[in-house]
Amino acid sequence: MVASASDLTKIYGDAKDHDSQVVALDHVNVDFLRGQMTAIMGPSGSGKSTLMHCMAGLDRPTSGTVVVEGLEVSAMNQRQLTKLRREQIGFIFQSFNLVPTLSAEENILLPLQIAKRPIDRDWFDKVVEVTGLRSRLGHRPSQLSGGQQQRVACARAIMARPSVIFADEPTGNLDSHSSREVLGFLKDSVRDYGQTIVMVTHDPRAASYADRVLVLADGRITRDLRNPSYDEILAVFADEGEEDAESEERAA
């Protein structure tokens, strides 16, 4: 496995005031396998983004452990976390997070330059070819469409060959055509390069590209689906909606 969480709990709020506390993650156990694309789904407040942020070392758990490539992320200091994120972890954000004054090529290579790592031009050429960005390398983000900007963000994440890429709603700001382009690239990077991707999404269509779909509710994993179809994912949320309605009726 590439990454795992054991008994992972995250509580927000005043530790002395239990009434003000919010349990975002409730004793979660999960493994993420190499060469697999996993989608994390769930309603707002279910804990999906918190899980990804704890896995990526962007947030510290209240208790439990997170391990990436055999290294315990949850026990690292800030310097160690920075090193881990530069060498083992890639990020793709909904808002792209590109540097506006840099060209597409400069944005793609920026993490390697910050880490003072050599640039493999053969790998760069392959990544650019796969993402279809060859003719846009000299353009700044403002000169690119949303789909092109997100493909630059994808290329930047995979360029450093991280052990795992965490993607937070990577198609949330894209139209359907651009979404298919980005998801197709992510799927190809898993199939062709053995990349591991963990993607938070609210979109069943995006989740259907994944090898595995985890469904969270109230900080717990309620479903673990393997190679689900779009219709199977829709059915899960229809079932959960009925269960929520029944629970509300009983409470009333």
Contact 51, 8 (CB under 8 A): yes
Name the residue with tokens 């090529």: 105
pLDDT of residue 249: 46
pLDDT digits (tens, 9 = 90+) for 62-83: 999 999 999 999 889 999 998 8
Per-residue model confidence (pLDDT) at position 236: 86
Conformation bin of residue 22: beta by default, left when phi > 0, alpha when psi is -120 to 50: beta
Residue 14's pLDDT is 74
The pLDDT tens digits for 90-104 are 999 888 899 999 999
Instruction: Catalogue all structural domains in the chain, each as residue range(s) with its CATH number.
Output: 3-251 (3.40.50.300)
pLDDT, tens digit (0-9, with 9 covering 90-100), for 179-237:
888 898 899 889 988 899 999 999 999 999 999 999 999 999 999 999 999 999 998 87
pLDDT of residue 115: 87
Percent of the chain residues past pLDDT 90, beyond the cut: 65
Q: What is the pLDDT of residue 156?
A: 94
Q: Which residue has the tokens 């994912």?
A: 233
Instruction: State the pLDDT at residue 251.
Output: 47
Residues with Cβ < 8 Å from 127, sequence gap 6 or more? 108, 155, 158, 159
